[in-house]
Amino acid sequence: MRRHATFRVQPYYNLTGVSPFHKEIVMQPLIIIATPNISWLHPDVDYPRTPEAIAEEARLCSEKGATILHTHAEGMWAETIRAVRHRSDIIIQCGMSSLPVAERMEAYENKAEMISIILNHHDEAFALTECSVLHSRQELAEYAHLSQEYDVIPEYEVWHAGSIWNLNYLIEKKLIKPPYVTTLFFGWPGGTWSPPTVEEYMYRRRLMPAGCVCNVSIMGEGQRDIITAAILQGDHVRVGTEDYPFNHAGKIVTTHELVMETAGIARAIGRPLATIEQARKMIALQGG
Ligand SMILES: [Zn+2]
């Protein structure tokens, strides 16, 4: 196993509010989550659609520095989980949190390591798809029980401050245990849109409860600003065709190329990348 030296950094600002300028804080290595899925804003962008093609792209993403694969599996959950496992050790996170619980049982039953769960109403206005789905606190409780029963790590999607209220509700009811793995969303169009700005990231990040592993997902041109801020702050990042398929030069590229570019930003500012073993430990996955 590769080992990284402990990474210390003097932050420009400190979201925890503790000794903002004078005390060093210890940061975890960076987790990059790869999303080689449909580009909701640019549906003409190519992406892997078969279990084998998804598995190969996952392997390339892992090779370039990603430790978690966020996949939609194109609906072929069992086959895709199997194919990905065959080619790499990347941690598998099953997305499509808009689907009803019954349609997500395949992800649980096939022992995906993680499952995405939205903490609020789905209200999205994509290029070809309108999505409007309510998710009650009762459903969130059901997911919490299922995730415990099947030993799958829930990844909670935080779209606005109200999502954090629901996260705190689950914590207060003792339905979930830390670390709380979360992704903060920015710039996704629709009724749960939030500004893709560093200001919004810092504001929302301060509201997050203790014990969170925070990741960011951004659609639009503000992506690089928030990604860089998150890397500097010790948070984690998610990139791929699903989020924003353009590289720094505005060219459409594959997800593994976006992972490679993000890894380059991290290296340039001195934040090491997590190994899969380190990422497993950070999200409290068994075997980590
Ligand atoms: Zn997704």
Q: How far is the CA of 233 from the centre of ligand 1 (A)?
A: 24
* Mean of pLDDT values over 32-41: 97
Q: pLDDT tier at 11 (50, 70, 90 boundaries)? A: very low
Which residues crowd ion ligand 1, with CB under 5 Å?
A: 95
208-266 pLDDT, tens digit each? 999 999 999 999 999 999 999 999 999 999 999 999 999 999 999 999 999 999 999 99
CA count, 13 A, side-chain hemisphere, 232: 16
Residue 288: per-residue pLDDT: 55
Structural domains in the chain, CATH included, are: 7-282 (3.20.20.70)
Q: How far is the CA of 98 from the centre of ligand 1 (A)?
A: 9
* Mean of pLDDT values over 155-176: 98
pLDDT at 196 over 50: yes
Q: How far is the CA of 71 from the centre of ligand 1 (A)?
A: 6
Q: How far is the CA of 216 from the centre of ligand 1 (A)?
A: 13
Q: What are phi and psi of 18, to 5 degrees?
A: -95, 125
Q: In the chain, pLDDT over 90 holds for what percent of residues?
A: 89
Q: How far is the CA of 188 from the centre of ligand 1 (A)?
A: 12
Q: How far is the CA of 171 from the centre of ligand 1 (A)?
A: 24
Contact 90, 69 (CB under 8 A): yes
Residue 214: beta bridge partners? 182
* Mean of pLDDT values over 271-275: 97
CB proximity list for 278: less than 8 A, separation 6 or greater: 4, 28, 29, 67, 288
Q: Which helix (H) or strand (E) holds 87?
A: helix 77-87
The DSSP 8-state label assigned to residue 29 in this structure reads P
Q: How far is the CA of 48 from the centre of ligand 1 (A)?
A: 14
Residue 20: per-residue pLDDT: 43
Reported pTM: 0.91
Q: pLDDT tier at 287 (50, 70, 90 boundaries)? A: low
Q: How far is the CA of 170 from the centre of ligand 1 (A)?
A: 22
Q: How far is the CA of 95 from the centre of ligand 1 (A)?
A: 5
CA 57: distance to chain centroid?
17
Q: How far is the CA of 70 from the centre of ligand 1 (A)?
A: 6
Residue 27: per-residue pLDDT: 83
Contact 86, 52 (CB under 8 A): no
By CB atoms closer than 10 A (0-12, 13-18, 19+), residue 269 is: exposed
pLDDT at 286 over 90: no
Residue 114: per-residue pLDDT: 98
Residue 132: per-residue pLDDT: 95
